[in-house]
Amino acid sequence: MEQRISLVTLGVRDLARARAFYEALGWRGAQQPDDAIAFFQAGGMVFGLWTGLGGHGAPGIELAHNVRSPSEVDNVLAAALRAGGTVVRPAAHADWGGYTGAFADPEGYVWEV
């Protein structure tokens, strides 16, 4: 098996709300073939939102979005808050030398930035 991931799909309760949240963060080009799923192209992979997974969030998973500077970390966290997310870990300097924070989307999925 080749070492790569082609698709990440999150189970959501409210597809319209979830899609609007990611669009408010600047994600564009969503394809929605039916009322149960939406797909965003994300570089070389696809990010999906699907009501068919039961939509209860996944407390054992944390997604990550790398940015280029501390100010971008702050900007992404602020955008997530404005879009209806929750900052679950305010931005701070990490022990390993980086600058990081985290937000949860309206479905409870945590993104480290």
Q: Where are the domains of the chain?
A: 1-52, 60-113
Q: Give the closest residue to 73 by CA, choosing from 33, 19, 20, 112.
A: 112
CATH code for the domain defined by 60-113: 3.10.180.10
Q: Is there a contact between 57 and 107 (Cβ–Cβ < 8 Å)? A: yes
DSSP 8-state code for residue 37 = E
**pTM for this model (two decimals):** 0.80
CATH code for the domain defined by 1-52: 3.10.180.10
Q: How high is the pLDDT of residue 5?
A: 81
pLDDT tens per residue across all 113 residues of the chain = 678 888 888 989 899 999 999 999 999 988 999 888 999 998 889 999 988 766 555 556 778 888 999 999 999 999 999 999 999 999 999 888 899 999 999 999 989 89
DSSP 8-state code for residue 53 = G
Quickly list DSSP for 58-105.
-TT-EEE---SSHHHHHHHHHHHHHTT-EEEEEEEE-TTS-EEEEEE-
Q: Is there a contact between 24 and 83 (Cβ–Cβ < 8 Å)? A: yes
Q: How high is the pLDDT of residue 56?
A: 55
